[in-house]
Amino acid sequence: SFCTLLMASLLLLLFAAVGAMLVLAWTSFRLRKSKSRGTRAKVDAIVLSGPSGVGKGTLIKRLMETRPDTFAFCVSHTSRPPRDGEVDGVNYHFSSKSNMQTMLEKGEFLECCEVHGNMYGTSRSALREVQASGKVPIIEIDVQGAQKLKKQQGDMSFYYMFINAPSVEELEKRIRGRGQESDDKVQTRLNTARAEIAFMEANRSFFDKVLTNVDLEESLAVMNRLFKLYCGL
């Protein structure tokens, strides 16, 4: 009868509407879930900056010891001679000023600076080498180099962290504790440190995080939490 057909049609329309609503709800859920997975920004490198003697190298060493499958050191070039115990290709790629100048002119460096009379630079090939291994490069760099790096990074995403000492007095104690520097060189490093700290304090937004390295293991724990939260690592 007409009434039966009408009821059947209405039921079909109702089922179709409910089905469409369920499909829309499921699609919306999947989109929200997909977006939530993508909220953590992936980074192309971690950049640790700060004055000489604040413990950048020690923190990097501990990061790679505790998370060897995640991080690898991006080995920079330098024209300074090796210190006791340093290995070419591990601590730095030790080179000459003339060779580094040639590399700079060819555009092979992401950044290159002269510090305390020596050249330091992060090469594009060193960064690519770590990235090709599937690990996240850690770049150790001074503030001058970090400024140049940020200008040259293009569409790459870097996480910039400034490592600081509790005080300049503590920093001097750490530098003198190395037993490798003359008084003149210690004062030069301290003057550079004051300038770098002044830059950080005047340009807080330049760095993603400022970390005062009081205790090594506590600093390491903070770094791991930050890398997980902001870098998806």
Maximum CA extent, the chain: 106
Catalytic residue among 30, 83, 128, 225: 83
- What is the residue whose two structure tokens read 């604040």? 54
Strand partners, 160: 47
Catalytic residue among 32, 176, 178, 225: 178
Q: What is the dihedral of CA 8, 10, 16, 20, to 10 degrees?
A: -170
**How many CB atoms lie under 10 A from the CB of residue 231?**
18
37 part of the active site: no
Angle of helix 168-178 relative to helix 183-202, nearest 10 degrees, comes to: 140
* SS3 state of residue 167: coil
Q: Which residues have C-beta within 8 Å of that of residue 143, sequence separation ≥ 6?
A: 49, 50, 162, 195, 196, 199, 200
**Residues 77 and 135 sit within 8 Å (Cβ to Cβ):** no
Distances (CA, A) of 64 to 74, 138, 209, 220: 12, 9, 20, 11
225 part of the active site: no
Which residues are annotated as catalytic?
A: 83, 178, 189
